[in-house]
Amino acid sequence: MALIEFVGPSGERVERLTSHDTRTIEVRGRLYHRAPVQSFAVRTLRDVDQQDRVLAGYYREECQKGSRFRSKFSKAQIKRIWETPLED
């Protein structure tokens, strides 16, 4: 079963839980046709933590700029920050 959007004769839209291969439905004597999919998104279940996002950002910058990439922080500063426990 899937939640599918249908369009009526005058443009009104309804959503119904139907099988994925349903093309038309009848609601109160009116025929509704399946609406085209306008967008579709998939989200990951795993929440990416801040460290992974920062490392991915550095990697992306290095790939884009190559040898021209220059960080504002030294390797020692970055290492010190990652090794410092967060305060509650």
- Delimit the domains of the chain by residue range: 2-34
Q: Which two tokens stand for residue 86?
A: 């967060």
Taking only Cα atoms into account, the Rg of the chain, rounded to an integer number of angstroms, comes to 25
Distances (CA, A) of 34 to 1, 2, 17, 28, 29: 15, 12, 12, 16, 16
* Token pair for 31: 């025929």
Read off the pLDDT of residues 13-65 as tens digits, 9 standing for 90 and up: 999 998 888 999 999 999 999 998 776 677 666 666 777 777 788 788 888 88
> So what's the pLDDT on residue 32?
95
